Amino acid sequence: MNKQLKVSRGKDLLSIQLAGHSYVRITDEAGNETFRSDSDARHVNAIVSPGRYVVETDGKLNKLTQSAREPRHREARPVQAMKPPKPGK
């Protein structure tokens, strides 16, 4: 099953609900694969840039939702492997 979609400006998180699948992938307008999950999980989240995409799976696409990531998840933070993460950060 394939679904074409346009990701709007200000949206960067695509939530996909699926059923009966072994993979889901997202390709851009040029046909380049930008995301792939080879899991049978029913819910998958992908970070995308604004633009046109095709979501493809061998199962059923139940729902596609666009949203914006929370600001605290947008910026990369340095990882300090010797310190555990602080709750809520």
How confident is the model over 9-26, as pLDDT tens digits? 989 999 999 999 999 999
Domain presence at residue 81? no
* 86 CB-near residues (< 8 Å, 6+ apart): none
- pTM of the prediction? 0.77
86 in a structural domain? no
Number of domains in the chain: 1
- As a whole number of angstroms, the distance between CA 11 and CA 5 comes to 12
Whether 19 is in a domain gets the answer yes
pLDDT score at 60: 96
Task: Determine the pLDDT at residue 81.
Answer: 75
Residue 84 — very low, low, confident or very high, per pLDDT cuts 50/70/90? confident
In a domain? residue 33: yes
The label of the residue with tokens 């960067």 reads 12
In a domain, 87, yes or no: no
Domain with 10 in it? 2-69
In a domain, 34, yes or no: yes
Look at residue 47 and tell me if it is in a domain.
yes
pLDDT in tens, 23-79: 999 999 999 999 999 999 999 999 999 999 999 999 999 999 999 987 776 666 676
